[in-house]
Chains A and B, each alone.
Chain A
Amino acid sequence: MKLLYAGLAIALLISVLAPYLASSDPDGLESAAESVIDEERFAELEEADPAIDSPMPDYSIEGKGKLGEIVAISAGTIGILVISFGLAKVLKSNRSN
């Protein structure tokens, strides 16, 4: 369990720093899209809505700035921890049944 706490501590530290350190440049796929698709079609693709609405799009909370980003990413980090822990427990306990 020591590893869990150490891992969580590192993950949360990254979550808090990410909004300040992360580059706002587009990622590899987006940059590629920008350079190989013509402008009009690119704008069309970029503006298209995702298939579902997300509660915290782009790892942010509307109107809450950097603090909102820290909260969003930290919540995701803890959420993933709980989900993976829970799923691994469930899968493992199934074995002994």
Chain B
Amino acid sequence: MHIPDSFMPLSQALIYWAIALPFIFMSFRWARKDMDDMKIPILAALSAGIFAIQALNIPIGMGTSGHMVGAALVAIIFGSPFAGVLVLTLVLLVQGIVFADGGITVMGANILNMGVISGFVGYYSFVALRSKNIDIKISAFFGAWLGLFISSIATAIEMSIAGTFPLVPGLVAMGTFHFVIGIIGEGLITAIAIAAIAKARPDLVDSKITEDSKEALL
């Protein structure tokens, strides 16, 4: 879903930067508050893992492929959507500058879509499902799937405002492809990872997360 520079006029790209920057700033504030010597290596390992898995495009049929984004996974593990924003910001920065994956001018939009939207939608859907006592794997699967799907819809709308995609066909195409990518690439991998981590380190992902975020929401 990485938007290249040519897909958006500079003036609009700057607007998305202006929207993304406060979230990036708040993700730094989250790290300042939440990071400790135990969590720093976990954050670093997760960031590295997210970068690597984003390089692994999975075929989804229709001549299309997709990869995991990972913001929801990170947010669920750390109990904050800002953790997802922080990791995706770093990953997108390196992808854009070093590997020409996603443009530099449009990086604000990419951070907004993949970090903020998929992270927030994914995380709060997970929390909502968990608060209804739905199984942690199913909650993680659905949250991550919805996060990816909604961020693809947002991207389609941005592409239409940019004049690059026509609105309705753009929504249909982006929605269709990411409906499937979200199931395989995002939902399944997130659910498997959360289940594995919950088993190995229940202190990292368990009811505590949902309790904390309920408090944060109140």
Residues of A within 8 A of B (CB): 1, 3-8, 10-12, 14-15, 17-18, 21-29, 31-33, 35-37, 44-46, 48, 50-52, 54-59, 72-73, 76-85, 87-89, 91-92, 94-95
For the complex formed, measure the closest distance between the CB of A92 and the CB atoms of chain B, giving whole angstroms. Answer: 4
B95 contact set on A, CB distance < 8 A:
76
Given A31-B177, A88-B35, do A51 and B45 touch, yes or no (CB 8 Å)?
A: no
**Which stretch of B118-126, B130-138, B167-175, B207-215 is in the interface?**
B167-175
Additional pairs, 19, CB under 8 Å, beyond known A26-B63, A28-B178, A48-B5 = A3-B45, A5-B45, A10-B49, A11-B51, A12-B52, A14-B53, A25-B59, A25-B65, A27-B66, A28-B152, A28-B177, A36-B165, A50-B4, A50-B100, A51-B5, A59-B101, A76-B55, A80-B50, A81-B45
Q: Count contacts between A and B, CB distance < 8 Å.
A: 205
Closest 9 CB pairs of A and B: A7-B45, A48-B6, A4-B41, A32-B173, A23-B65, A57-B100, A28-B177, A85-B44, A54-B100
A7 contact set on B, CB distance < 8 A:
41-42, 44-46, 48-49
Assembly CA distance A81 to B36 (angstroms): 16
Query: Is B14 positioned at the interface, with any CB of A under 8 Å from its CB?
Result: no
In the complex, the answer to whether B49 meets A14 with C-beta atoms within 8 Å is yes
Assembly CA distance A11 to B46 (angstroms): 8
In the complex, the answer to whether A92 meets B36 with C-beta atoms within 8 Å is yes
Query: Is B97 positioned at the interface, with any CB of A under 8 Å from its CB?
Result: yes
Assembly CA distance A17 to B150 (angstroms): 30
Query: Is B90 positioned at the interface, with any CB of A under 8 Å from its CB?
Result: yes
For the complex formed, measure the closest distance between the CB of B188 and the CB atoms of chain A, giving whole angstroms. Answer: 15
Query: Is B76 positioned at the interface, with any CB of A under 8 Å from its CB?
Result: no
In the complex, the answer to whether A27 meets B67 with C-beta atoms within 8 Å is yes
Contact check: which of B1, B94, B97, B159 meets A52 at CB < 8 Å?
A: B97
